[in-house]
Amino acid sequence: MTTKNNTEKDINCPAEGLLKSLSGKWKAQIFRLALNGPVRFSSLLRDLEGSNKQSLSVALKEMEEQGLLDKIIVKEKPLHIEYNLSGKGKSLVAVFQQLELIK
């Protein structure tokens, strides 16, 4: 039998929060590609086979709102946008390495 306290602990579990942050279409792949430095929308669209502009835009926006990615507007010609792992995103790298999800 589950008590209210056990249920609250499960909901507030840090691992569950991590998994929820990266659940959803393309998020884990975006995270993995951003490990090597800034990534552009166009390169993500090309590298994520089967992705489309709309689903990729949604995933990037959610990751930015969750604090996993920083969006950088590069004011060079042509103007473009890059996505970088934020401090919070970088702090998760060690967790993924421990889980052997990335090398």
Task: Report the pLDDT value the prediction gives residue 14, as an integer from 0 to 100.
Answer: 60
Burial of 26 (0-12, 13-18, 19+ CB in 10 A): buried
**pLDDT, tens only, 73-87:** 999 988 899 999 999
Query: The tokens of 38 are what?
Result: 């800034």
Do 68 and 85 meet the contact criterion of CB atoms below 8 Å apart?
yes
**pLDDT, tens only, 9-44:** 445 666 666 667 777 789 989 999 999 899 999 999
Length of the chain as a residue count: 103
Do 73 and 81 meet the contact criterion of CB atoms below 8 Å apart?
yes
Q: Which domains does the chain show, CATH number per domain? A: 4-98 (1.10.10.10)
